[in-house]
Structure 1
Amino acid sequence: MSDNLSPGNRRLSGQRLYVAIGAWLVLVVVGAFCTWYGWIGPSPSDDGSQQAAEATSTSEVAAPTAEAVDVQPTTSAALPTVPVEEEVFGYGIAIHGTGGSTDLVDYTVGQVESLGLGWLKQQMRWEDVERQPGQLEWGMYDLIIDSANQRGIKVMLSVVDAPDWTHTSYVDENPQGAPPDNLADYANFLGMVVDRYRGRIHAIEVWNEQNLDREWDTSEGVKAERYIEMLKLAYQSIKSRDPNIIVISGALSPVGATATDPNNSNRIIYMDDFAYFEQLVTAGLLDHCDCVGAHHNGINMPPNIAWDEGYDDPTAQFRGPFDNPDHSWSFKSTLWGYHDRIVTAGRNNPLCITEFGWPTSEGFDGYPSQMEYALDNTLGEQAEWDVEAFQLMREWGFVRLAFLWNLNFSQLGWGPEDPNAPWAIIDFQGVGRPAFGAIGAMDKP
């Protein structure tokens, strides 16, 4: 047969042979790849399971009941960590996470996640961790921090309440509000906190409202210079172990007056926060913190109103902001007052608002003593003003972190007279109040 082929036909037959061989090689390679991929590639069920897991909503999970739990110490080696990264503005909320079961802690942290907030604040009471020198019981703090990191939520600890054994030089009816006699004891405790949770906590607030003697109950009374001594030691202890942690100075309580002990005119029991803040700055505050802590509890004025704008609510039962105007009643005036004083000092330290929010007792069958302003604010106003405050702080540009006060302090079982309950965005039945939905739906650029 080959003898009958012309030279042209032979060339054509050779080309066909080459094509056939090439096609055969392609099929061999493709077949080998498919076989290999079938052995080690992902199965179709993997993707479906992941999608199903992502579709699960925390709102579908019933809140577990509080039960005692035996908490085992954890180590950072086997646990996920939230990476430290730059962010222009951090959205957060204060939670009550101690007490109850592992499931209850995880449910609470899951609510923070469902709100779309990237930070949570948990107060750590030194008294609860180290009741006796060197005997450390980290308990529920392990669970809170582990749960937050597993969900990618950053943690700010506000460390307060020195144990009784640390302050014996002066004791009265409120000893837990006192700093330790030896301020280095507090710095050493913070060092132990960082050693245990290095890489898994992201900010520490050094004390709380130290311009009030209920938080700084010493023989000499509240004193800015003494607090700065403690802050310096704390800053060094924290930063030497983890330089990425944001050190926040203890937030002051907005107080528009100064008073002395009736039995000792030289002992200040509370001080105007602007006057105290100026003393802090003079004593070196801005050299020993990354962020200046601040509080404001809203009272019954909207967040965008300055104290001297002549605002009045004729229906208000609590008349303080309207009949006795002062910066301390105003969210806007208080925060701008701190910022202006920082700028005057030639610095640019940002503010970290570790508590803010508006209380309302609407829907409760009572209200806390001397907090009539909780009766003036509606649930709708709480939702509106909480959101507006977040937006204003983001727009102002000098606030680094903001923590709404609070998520769930209504769940402590103390009823409508609990002074923390009106700020909660969850009611006594565990149902979200309007502010819960508003915060969840809020844009968070």
Structure 2
Amino acid sequence: MTSRRCWLFLSVLLAVLMVATPLSAGGGEPIYASTSPHLGYGIMVAYPPGHLGLVTDMGFDWYKNFLLWKDIDKTKGYDWTSLDQRLQETAASGLNLILRVEGPPVWARAWEDHYWAPVAHDKMAAWREFFRATAEYIAAWQADHGTSFRVALEVWNEPNLSFQWGDRAVDPAWYTEMVRYAYEGAKAGDPNIIVVAGGLAPTGGTSDGMAMDDVQYLEAMYDACLAGHFDVISTHNYGFGGKPDDKSWGYGILNFRRAEDIYQVMVNHGDGDKPVWATEFGWLLDASYEGHPECIGYWESIGFAWQRVSPDQQADYLVYAFQYADANWPWMGVMVVSNLDFSTTGWYATCDPLNWFSILKPDESPRLAYNALKGMTKRYRSWEVWGMDVRPPSLAWMMPITGTRRVTETVSVLNTGNLPFTWTVTTSTQGLPFSVSPLSGTADGSFQVVMDAQGLTTGTYTGRITVTASAVEVEESPFGVPLTLYVVPRVYNVYLPVVARWFSGP
């Protein structure tokens, strides 16, 4: 066997730090260091939730369940038994909770013969009072039990589809009325509770009015005075068999990236500072992989067969969906996988698609998707009501006296809480020539720092930027950003040996 040793010398030029590249303020910055963590990792759990331990084992921090008005509002007043159970389970699990609120009592329905009939117009005051009492009860329960998990109330489910609207033609103005009354009631009960509107199903709509394009439906909601009556807009951006990043899939409508179109409507109406939550999304597992090829024919008959994916694809697409949203959608908040365990309940026929969106098998063992999501790297956002971070937290430069120059850096003011705020900037200097613009902005905005070292002599120059939030509740405010410039006499080259060996056969 022969071998050859080749010594390569890499010139590591310390002047890399001297040509206006900032010195590191510390290692280990996340991949998307320009944005703060903004996702919530959630999953929908069958009623009643019996697998919350598996949710926490996945490293998720939210779950979604259900709150039925008819179960609370009894003839002799409110009975909070079912809500107590959800709150107790949530507190024990360490999770946060989304409650999808639905199921009006018969007397409050617009037509009595359908569970999904909307709230009657003349019963809206009772609907508002129910939300007020619910929010107030949750806040009091948490105070009594010393807990602080987040609770969000999602108003209804997929109102742009007729089967979730009492099998009648859908009505965005009517649904918006329900949202407005719900929001007013909830905020009267607890100003910090999160109110989620929408739950819209991606669809192109039908000419008979029994389904309405979700983007057009949201536009109609704004026309009906939605603005100012929600904290979050939710969408059900299922993958429909396509890859998470494929915007052309499903005629450009039935795909995971449909969430972008929903957000664009919000931007167009001045609500770009509010988040979208994906309160249902997932991929349909091909049942033939688990010994049920007969399901494919049934799915063909109901228009689902084209959506099916392999176990590997279900796992890969779910993980990539979170990664894609983290990297590309700073406006996305909680993402709720549909679903964990509907397959284990025994409520649904073998070929019901709900069983095959599940990431547990009927025997409660994990599918590939469960393990993939469990092993997925997660960047949790803070769910504090108020919070601020400034990135980078400091700036430092090193330049040779022969190469001083003007540099520009961007500093981001990030909202790590739930409520928006504005900020202002002040500066001070000890010889460091720099300027900042703009001097004010909104959370998740940024400002530029221009530092001009031209003409400076050798030495150390410092300055400081102070970012102050408008809301006194922001504990991180004021936030100091130190600035340091080192002007040095000369550049040194350092040579490091790198050993490379090539081996060939005899």
Instruction: Flag whether TM exceeds 0.5 (same fold).
Output: yes
Show the counterpart of 1:279.
220
Paired letter, 2:224:
A
8 Å CA contact 1:157–1:201 kept in 2: the answer is: no
Counterparts of 1:303 and 1:375, CA distance in 2: 13
8 Å CA contact 2:160–2:214 kept in 1: the answer is: yes
Counterparts of 2:150 and 2:71, CA distance in 1: 19
List per-residue Cα deviations over 1:50-82 (Å, max 9, x = no partner): xxxxxxxxxxxxxxxxxxxxxxxxxxxxxxxxx
1:101-120 → structure 2 map (5 Å cutoff):
105=49, 108-120=51-63
Paired letter, 2:101:
V
Show the counterpart of 1:380.
312
Show the counterpart of 2:266.
342
- Secondary structure in 2 matching 1:251: strand
Show the counterpart of 1:443.
377
Counterparts of 2:103 and 2:198, CA distance in 1: 13
Q: How far did residue 193 of structure 1 move?
A: 2.0
Which of 41, 45, 48 is the matching residue for 1:95? 45
Show the counterpart of 2:342.
409
Richer in helix (by share): 1
- What's the TM-score, normalizing by structure 2? 0.60
CA 1:374–1:87 in structure 2 vs 1: closer, same or farther (change >3 Å)? same
CA 1:417–1:141 in structure 2 vs 1: closer, same or farther (change >3 Å)? farther
The reply to whether residue 179 of structure 1 matches residue 129 of structure 2 is no
8 Å CA contact 2:283–2:307 kept in 1: the answer is: no
Show the counterpart of 1:433.
367
Q: How far did residue 161 of structure 1 move?
A: 2.0
Q: How far did residue 212 of structure 1 move?
A: 1.5
Counterparts of 1:144 and 1:392, CA distance in 2: 31
8 Å CA contact 1:161–1:177 kept in 2: the answer is: yes
Show the counterpart of 1:64.
none
The reply to whether residue 363 of structure 1 matches residue 363 of structure 2 is no
- Secondary structure in 2 matching 1:250: strand
8 Å CA contact 1:177–1:213 kept in 2: the answer is: no
CA 1:434–1:140 in structure 2 vs 1: closer, same or farther (change >3 Å)? farther
Counterparts of 1:160 and 1:190, CA distance in 2: 11
8 Å CA contact 2:133–2:189 kept in 1: the answer is: no
8 Å CA contact 1:155–1:203 kept in 2: the answer is: yes
8 Å CA contact 1:122–1:156 kept in 2: the answer is: yes
List per-residue Cα deviations over 1:231-262 (Å, max 9, x = no partner): 111111111121221111031111112332xx
Q: How far did residue 420 of structure 1 move?
A: 1.1
- Structure having the higher Rg: 1
Counterparts of 2:207 and 2:366, CA distance in 1: 40
Counterparts of 1:120 and 1:364, CA distance in 2: 30
- RMSD of aligned alpha carbons: 2.2
List per-residue Cα deviations over 1:314-364 (Å, max 9, x = no partner): xxxxxxx3xxxx2322111x1111111222223212101110011112315
8 Å CA contact 1:355–1:405 kept in 2: the answer is: yes
Paired letter, 1:151:
S
Percent identity of the aligned residues? 28
Counterparts of 1:402 and 1:329, CA distance in 2: 17
Which of 171, 195, 210 is the matching residue for 2:159? 210
CA 1:133–1:213 in structure 2 vs 1: closer, same or farther (change >3 Å)? farther
Counterparts of 2:331 and 2:241, CA distance in 1: 24
Counterparts of 1:384 and 1:258, CA distance in 2: 33
- Secondary structure in 1 matching 2:199: coil
Q: Which runs of 5+ in 2 are unaligned?
A: 1-35, 143-148, 380-506
Counterparts of 2:156 and 2:308, CA distance in 1: 31
Show the counterpart of 1:423.
357
CA 1:436–1:374 in structure 2 vs 1: closer, same or farther (change >3 Å)? farther
Show the counterpart of 1:230.
178
- Secondary structure in 2 matching 1:190: helix
The reply to whether residue 154 of structure 1 matches residue 96 of structure 2 is yes
Counterparts of 2:253 and 2:66, CA distance in 1: 24
CA 1:158–1:278 in structure 2 vs 1: closer, same or farther (change >3 Å)? same
Which of 306, 331, 339 is the matching residue for 1:398? 331
8 Å CA contact 1:252–1:294 kept in 2: the answer is: yes
Which of 190, 199, 202 is the matching residue for 1:254? 202
Is the deviation greater in 209-218 or in 403-412? 209-218
1:43-192 → structure 2 map (5 Å cutoff):
88-98=38-48, 105=49, 108-130=51-73, 132-134=74-76, 136-167=78-109, 169-171=110-112, 175-181=114-120, 182-192=123-133
Counterparts of 1:392 and 1:351, CA distance in 2: 15
CA 1:346–1:435 in structure 2 vs 1: closer, same or farther (change >3 Å)? same
Show the counterpart of 1:245.
193
Q: How far did residue 269 of structure 1 move?
A: 1.9
Paired letter, 1:124:
L
Is the deviation greater in 203-212 or in 338-347? 338-347
